[in-house]
């Protein structure tokens, strides 16, 4: 069985071990042998034991070799290490849970075993016990050890990382073979189509945007361009159209305000305005004003809506403008984008943030921060607690 088969990430234990976030004085193995850790080893990024080239002393004998960490001792056999010669050089088996038995190598020799739990601080023990229960949000119920300041700092970190990710995501829509100005316009447009396609028709909206780029936009008025987009999408098909060329839209679960016909028209009107506005104005204009003018071009009713507009402003428009500042060496534009992102408040659907309600933290910290979505997606749900400031605050308690 591979390491990934464990129901709990062992990265938490790795962090505790390598940084010695435990009382490493007077350590003993489960059978009472004294241990001194001279070097915890270096993390192994390939197959085999978790840490390589460790150095420890057991009683009076100094050992050089590898270290394996598990949540409990039976994981050693569950992962088939007892039959794997690659683990014969393990000099210490470190487990979290209490145990009164031993691990053995493939040659049946016994491995010294250290149980970490007795050497951890009480807050850290409590956190790890909660973590092992496999809750959706491991830090919920640990508020006596978690400061509001740490929670706020982590959200600020996630907010910054989310912006950087959105800038990187947009690069996939940038077509370097085009002149820079056209490539940027295309990137912004596809980003908006993608954002209006959430959550059921993102790929379909991107496909439509790319198809529209093959049309000569100057040959259409805004209204005829919108009608052309609907026909190209297969929404307003005629007898002369080829059904095999239509896009397969997902209507299941779409609310009326998110119906493809509506979103296509809104996106096409944004497309039209992006290409009609003189490019120089994108480099020189006030960002809030530019965004409002862009939204004003949407005449389709109902409109995009404040909730979706606030999310698009943060996840598409500001990252696109930041990318534009990078593209044309406009440091002032980049700084302005970053400043607006830091204070931007989006109307995030409460259903996306319901896990945070279990923390009893003030909702004002997270309910309008786009970084909260990134926090849940990149830290909480994949259980990457070891990289979170909240977990670090538990360690330092």
Report the distance separating Cα 397 and Cα 389, nearest Å.
Answer: 12
pLDDT of residue 7: 54
Supply the pTM of this predicted model.
0.85
pLDDT of residue 392: 87
Q: What pLDDT score was predicted for residue 5?
A: 39
Strand 51-58, strand 34-39: pairing: antiparallel
The residue extents of the domains of the chain are 3-120, 172-343
pLDDT at 143: 53
User: Where do the H-state alpha helices sit in the chain?
Assistant: 11-18, 75-78, 122-132, 148-171, 180-196, 202-212, 222-233, 260-276, 279-284, 287-296, 306-312, 318-327, 331-343, 371-375, 389-395
Low-confidence ranges of the chain (pLDDT < 70): 1-8, 99, 134, 141-146, 216, 219, 236-245, 397
Q: How many CB atoms lie within 10 A of CB 254?
A: 17
Contact between residue 247 and residue 204 where contact means Cβ atoms under 8 Å apart = yes
d(CA 372, CA 156): 9
The C-alpha atoms of residue 49 and residue 90 are separated, in whole angstroms, by: 7
pLDDT the model gives residue 393: 85
């Amino acid at each position: 069985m591979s390491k990934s088969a464990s129901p709990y990430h062992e990265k938490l234990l790795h962090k505790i071990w390598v940084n010695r976030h435990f009382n490493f004085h007077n350590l003993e193995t489960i059978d009472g042998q004294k241990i001194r850790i001279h070097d915890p080893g270096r993390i192994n990024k390939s197959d085999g034991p978790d840490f390589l080239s460790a150095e420890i002393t057991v009683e009076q004998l100094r050992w050089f070799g590898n270290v394996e960490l598990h949540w409990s001792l039976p994981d050693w056999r569950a992962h088939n290490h007892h039959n794997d010669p690659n683990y014969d050089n393990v000099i210490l088996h470190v487990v979290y849970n209490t145990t009164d038995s031993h691990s053995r190598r493939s040659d049946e020799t016994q491995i010294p075993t250290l149980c970490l739990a007795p050497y951890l601080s009480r807050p850290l023990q409590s956190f790890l016990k909660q973590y092992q229960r496999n809750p959706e949000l491991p830090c919920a119920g640990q508020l006596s050890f978690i400061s509001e300041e740490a929670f706020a700092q982590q959200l600020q970190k996630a907010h910054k990382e989310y912006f950087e990710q959105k800038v990187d995501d947009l690069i996939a829509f940038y077509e370097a073979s085009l002149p820079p100005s056209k490539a940027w316009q295309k990137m912004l447009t596809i980003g908006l189509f993608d954002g209006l396609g959430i959550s059921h028709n993102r790929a379909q909206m991107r496909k439509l945007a790319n198809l529209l780029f093959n049309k000569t936009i100057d040959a259409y008025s805004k209204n005829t361009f919108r009608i052309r987009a609907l026909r190209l999408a297969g929404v307003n098909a005629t007898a002369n159209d080829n059904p095999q060329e239509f896009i397969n839209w997902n209507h299941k679960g779409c609310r009326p305000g998110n119906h493809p016909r509506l979103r296509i028209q809104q996106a096409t009107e944004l497309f039209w305005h992006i290409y009609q506005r003189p490019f120089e104005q994108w480099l020189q204009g006030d960002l809030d004003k530019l965004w409002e003018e862009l939204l004003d071009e949407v005449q389709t009713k109902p409109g995009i809506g404040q909730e979706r507009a606030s999310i698009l402003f943060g996840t598409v428009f500001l990252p696109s403008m930041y990318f534009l500042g990078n593209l044309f060496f406009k440091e002032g534009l980049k700084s302005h984008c970053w400043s607006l992102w830091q204070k931007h408040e989006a109307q995030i659907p409460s259903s996306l943030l319901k896990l945070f309600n279990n923390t009893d933290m003030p909702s004002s910290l997270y309910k309008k921060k786009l970084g909260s979505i990134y926090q849940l997606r990149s830290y909480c749900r994949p259980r990457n607690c070891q990289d979170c400031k909240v977990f670090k605050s538990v360690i330092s308690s």
